[in-house]
């Protein structure tokens, strides 16, 4: 890491943060899959569980190509401070243990608890909270791709990131569409 440019170091930090995040998201998706009611939502979760498993492997592969250990919870505080305003997503991703993903998941779980007696609202909560996480992941991959484009990396790195980005975009769109349908089913009510 020491001999790397600042941008390369940001990239590796982002990679590391996203890797930690993907693993947490994977566990969350499995829970969401168990909890979901509608077959359509279950299918989206099942598909995205497989995709996320591949995304974790892709990130590991990128780490191997770069010769860096991405499975670490250590941050570079000085580097993070200096980049505060330029690379928000990556900095959010890399805050030690990827607290932002944890917070997004926790919010989704809180929402589910609030509606635990209302089966009709369960899928709405699941689709809504997960599509928010997917949009965050889209930002993460886009930001990593922007950084990768500025560095003279092995072209395979960009290919791997683009594959995952496309999956995240599709998952986001699928969940957004389910969210729209679930909202359409709900009658106007005060909560």
Closest separation in Å from C-beta 133 to Fe ion: 7
Closest separation in Å from C-beta 1 to Fe ion: 27
List the interface residues with Fe ion, window 136-175 (CB under 5 A).
137, 168
By CB under 5 A, the count of residues binding Fe ion is 2
> How many CA atoms are closer than 13 Å to the CA of 9, on its beta-carbon side?
15
Residue 68 sits in the site that holds Fe ion (CB under 5 A): no
3-state helix, strand, coil in the chain (%, to 5): 80, 0, 20
Closest separation in Å from C-beta 168 to Fe ion: 5
Between vectors from CA 17 to CA 12 and to CA 21, what angle results, nearest 5°?
145
Closest separation in Å from C-beta 135 to Fe ion: 10
Taking the least distance from each CB to Fe ion, the nearer of 68 and 168 is 168
Closest separation in Å from C-beta 39 to Fe ion: 20
- The C-alpha atoms of residue 171 and residue 176 are separated, in whole angstroms, by 8
Taking the least distance from each CB to Fe ion, the nearer of 8 and 28 is 28
Q: Which segment (36-44, 58-66, 114-122, 129-137) binds Fe ion by CB under 5 A?
A: 129-137
Instruction: Name which of 18, 49, 58, 22 is nearest 157 in CA terms.
Output: 58
Taking the least distance from each CB to Fe ion, the nearer of 16 and 55 is 55
- The C-alpha atoms of residue 95 and residue 90 are separated, in whole angstroms, by 9
Closest separation in Å from C-beta 89 to Fe ion: 14
- The C-alpha atoms of residue 76 and residue 66 are separated, in whole angstroms, by 18
Taking the least distance from each CB to Fe ion, the nearer of 123 and 137 is 137
* Exposure string for 37-60, b = 16+ CB within 10 A, e = fewer: eeebbbebbebbbebbeebbebbe
Q: Which segment (1-9, 30-38, 131-139, 149-157) binds Fe ion by CB under 5 A?
A: 131-139
Instruction: Name which of 155, 160, 163, 170 is nearest 70 in CA terms.
Output: 160
Give residues in contact with Fe ion (CB under 5 A). 137, 168
């Amino acid at each position: 890491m020491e001999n790397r440019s600042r941008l390369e170091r940001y990239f590796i930090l982002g990679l590391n943060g996203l890797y930690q995040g993907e693993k947490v998201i994977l566990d969350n998706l499995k829970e969401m899959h168990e909890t979901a009611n509608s077959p359509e939502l279950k299918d989206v979760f099942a598909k995205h569980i497989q995709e996320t498993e591949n995304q974790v492997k892709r990130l590991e592969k990128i780490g191997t190509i770069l010769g860096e250990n991405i499975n670490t919870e250590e941050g570079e505080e000085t580097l993070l401070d200096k980049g505060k305003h330029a690379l928000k997503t990556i900095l959010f991703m890399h805050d030690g243990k990827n607290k932002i993903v944890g917070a997004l998941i926790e919010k989704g779980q809180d929402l589910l608890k609030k509606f635990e007696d209302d089966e009709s609202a369960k899928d709405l909560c699941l689709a809504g909270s997960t599509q928010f996480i997917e949009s965050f992941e889209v930002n993460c991959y886009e930001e990593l791709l922007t950084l990768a484009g500025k560095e003279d990396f092995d072209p395979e790195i960009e290919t791997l990131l683009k594959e995952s980005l496309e999956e995240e975009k599709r998952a986001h769109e699928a969940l957004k569409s389910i969210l729209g349908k679930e909202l359409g089913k709900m009658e106007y009510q005060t909560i």
